[in-house]
Chains A and B, each alone.
Chain A
Amino acid sequence: MQIEGMKLYLSLMALDNPFRQRIAEVFSEDGEGNMTLDDFLDMFSVLSEMAPRDLKAYYAFKIYDFNSDDFICKSDLEKTLNKLTRNELTDDEVRMVCEKVIDEADLDNDGRLSLEDFQHMIVRAPEFLSLKKNGFFSYKIVLEITV
């Protein structure tokens, strides 16, 4: 048996993660995805298990806020949904889901989710309550060996 190659990477930055690019953008200082060492460390401290939940919620909000206007609006939701389902839902379904999300979580009735709305919603999520199990917004180091 011969080991041909070894790959060590973060689950967070795995090619399949739909929010890979977005995470890099949010944590980089220039907003383009080019990260300095400090940015990198920041990312780890936010994504570590010991990071406080509010912090995670805040950064999750940033990540889902694709156009960085500090609100998650409908276009952000559509983008998120299409990334999550790999465009397998029909337009009608996407529209319906987005409407439902805004209907559920928008507390101040402005048709988009502010950070407050988002936090209010996400701290009640079962995945969020037990971070350890579900890996919501955490990372894992993956070692891949090709033989």
Chain B
Amino acid sequence: MQKKTAYSFPDEILEHVFSFIQSDKDRNAASVVCKSWYEIERWCRRKVFVGNCYAVSPTMVIRRFPDIRSIELKGKPHFADFNLVPDGWGGYVLPWISKMAGAYPWLEEIRLKRMVVTDESLELVAKSFTNLQVLVLFSCEGFSTDGLAAIAAGCKNLRELDLRDSEVDDLSGHWLNHFPDTYTSLVSLNISCLGSDDVSFSALERLVGRCPNLRRLLLNREVPLDKIANLLSRAPQLIEFGTGTYAAELRSDVYSNLVEAFCNCKELKSLSGFWDAVPAYLPVIYSVCSRLTSLNLSYAPIQNPDLTKLVSQCPSLQRMLVLDYIEDSGLEVLASSCKDLQELRVFPSDPFGEEPNVSLTEKGLVAVSSGCPKLQSVLYFCRQMSNAALVTIAQNCPNFTRFRLCLLDPKIADYRTLQPLDVGFGAIVEHCKDLRRLSLSGLLTDCVFEYIGMHAKKLEMLSVAFAGESDLALHHVLSGCESLRKLEIMNCPFGDKALLANAAKLETMRSLWMSSCSVSLGACKMLGQKMPRLNIEVMDEKGPPDSRAESDPVDKLYIYRSVAGPRFDMPPFVWTMDEDFASELS
């Protein structure tokens, strides 16, 4: 009798079904159903996301997925944003580009975050991927405008070039000239991070003028205000626009040109830039305000009443980024005007000042939590907080997915009761059952961690600083937070016991960062021996670990799971604790 195969229809049908499955999680799930699904799935996967470039090697990715069109890679740990990761740590993209050059000639999209990208890498990208459409370099560094020139000249199908927050060696603005005159496919351009005065403005104007599909244009600070009108008139179809410097002498011709230009941008929904903004020129955007869904004023030194007046004209706002010049009063206006608000970020205008320079307190956040029912994501810098306020906020916003509170004095207590803020944050995790990201600050004991372990079951990323008293704190988090992927800790007095007791948990997470904590060298070595599939990286400026006692605390510790084994591109101040570490030294 003929054996019936489980699937008696052609692979192409399954492939077609899989083409509707876009999320990595679902694809991964499908791929482990059986061997034939694994095979079919891997041949038709087009998109790969690698959250830690050292968790897997490019060879392994290429071996499993032979025909990728879109790749996203992340390099340095998040705390690199705050200068906690020393220069030279790693995150080089060149090995990936080199391997992919041969394997994925049809690659269309490259997205990199916190990676070191050199001009050599960019030149290789331009040469190897003729069909490249999207290049996003998010918080990257190591390249110059020469590399960008190569991309401009070589990638004829480029639609999106986004350099957000990257550190670029700005040698000359003339890289824009390298886009050929025949190039017309630009849809999105973000050069807001570029620094030099030498922006080739005429090249930019010509580029904007010949790309009819340009929808997103974020300029850098050096572009003067009086050039904006001309630029906008060439691109009235823009949806998202970032100005350059927003300061200039008040001149009626410049003013009226701007009014007209903004008025003609009927589809404009998102504005940013506004460096050095002066109140005089704010009204030119009033015609756009009612349509705005996203407004980033976090570089604008505008104060009240001008700031609040502007905000009150934007009832459709979903996303608002602003400096603390908005003050509690402005946030109350925001709360009453912007009922669609989903995301709020308030940055400090004077983070290192000893005394508050503005009247922004917990009251502003309470007001927004009360007035904006759709609020989901908060980043809030302020100088005082109370448990009562946090409890109110938690009760008002059970739908929070991201909550990051940064008290400028990291160990400050509840200003009303002088108690730790454990109860307040406890309320956040208890009420916000979908919370995926949380950053703590203020005076916090082990208690808050007990609450987090107990309630934060969907929490994926937790950031902790100057908190807790003992290893119990870390133990609560590692043993209780089932969905935890990324944990980053600085200046907390715990380590060894909790880490060793929860070693297996670390393999279920992407990474753990601990700096200026109490993790001993001995514990790191033990972990390295016990857990071969974890890379235990110890960073210390003082010298190699073997020169110090086992009980000495390590300066910085970065642990991440990896199937690629220890890496070999480490700088002299990083040591991997693996099974061979002890024997290597003897």
* A-B complex is real: no
Using a CB–CB cutoff of 8 Å, the interface residues on chain B facing chain A are none
Using a CB–CB cutoff of 8 Å, the interface residues on chain A facing chain B are none
